[in-house]
Amino acid sequence: MNSPHLSRGAKQPPPPRGSKLRVYSNRFCPYSQRVILVLDAKKIPYDIVNINLSSKPDWLYDKVPNGKVPALETENGDILYESLIIVDYLDERYSQYPLHPKDPLQKAKDRILIERFNKVISTMYRVMMNVGRISLDDDEAISNGLTTFENELGDRVGPFFGGSKPGMLDFMIWPWCERADILKLFGNQHLLKKDKYKKLMEWRTRMTEETTVKKSLLDSEFHIKYLQSYRAGMPDYDLILNSK
């Protein structure tokens, strides 16, 4: 998972051995982490090819038309891209430990929540990737989004959105919740107050204790250092390797 990120000029790696799937990824891409979480949760064999997003290998475009990650290469050589499309495929193709709710209505409602979380995602990206303090509008967008999920947890049976175990909704929003402490850099500690989002903060702690999450979990220190390198115009995708 922490292999070097391939850049322009790098040779295309040989096909994965056996029946393994392959994920074209980036260690600091939260959308890629979505796919990794689902693969790990369902115990599906896979390997990873990390991509330098600032200098992508030319052969990547032969594999993935838009050149984006994540992308999944199946054992037959078919390519899927867009994180939500990939995870839906994985949940249907590999039926062990289903992550989507069995009830079609609940599955649809969870997809609506994932779409609603996109507003939180877009706001967080705007805040993290641009210099300057968070605006009142951004503050409100994040706060309202977190309140929605705080209230939703109160209506669920069990400590996770998926019930007694994390489900698809848990894993789809987790990568950004893992990075939430970065908001403190902008003087917005109030957004993460435990008394305001008690259930959500308890959920976040429980998620960090899950075996599946631990496999891709990074300390806030790494996320912050990566963000600083990105904002300086020199994203250090191999930060983890370079720190060893």
Give me the active site residues, please. 29
**Which run of H or E residues covers position 80?**
strand 79-81
DSSP code at position 79: E
Single-letter residue type at 129: M
Q: What is the DSSP letter of 134?
A: P
- Long-range contacts for 40-45 (Cβ within 8 Å, ≥24 apart)? 40/212, 40/215, 40/216, 41/97, 41/99, 41/166, 41/171, 41/212, 42/90, 42/91, 42/94, 42/96, 42/97, 42/99, 43/96, 43/97, 44/90, 44/94, 45/18, 45/19, 45/20, 45/21
Strand 71-73, strand 46-50: pairing: unpaired
Task: Give me the amino acid identity at 189.
Answer: Q
**Secondary-structure percent of the chain, ordered helix, strand, coil, rounded to 5:** 50, 10, 40
Is residue 90 within 8 A of residue 43, CB to CB? The reply is no
**Residue with the two structure tokens 């968070």:** 134
47 has which bridge partners?
Answer: 22
Contact (CB, 8 A) for 229 and 235: yes
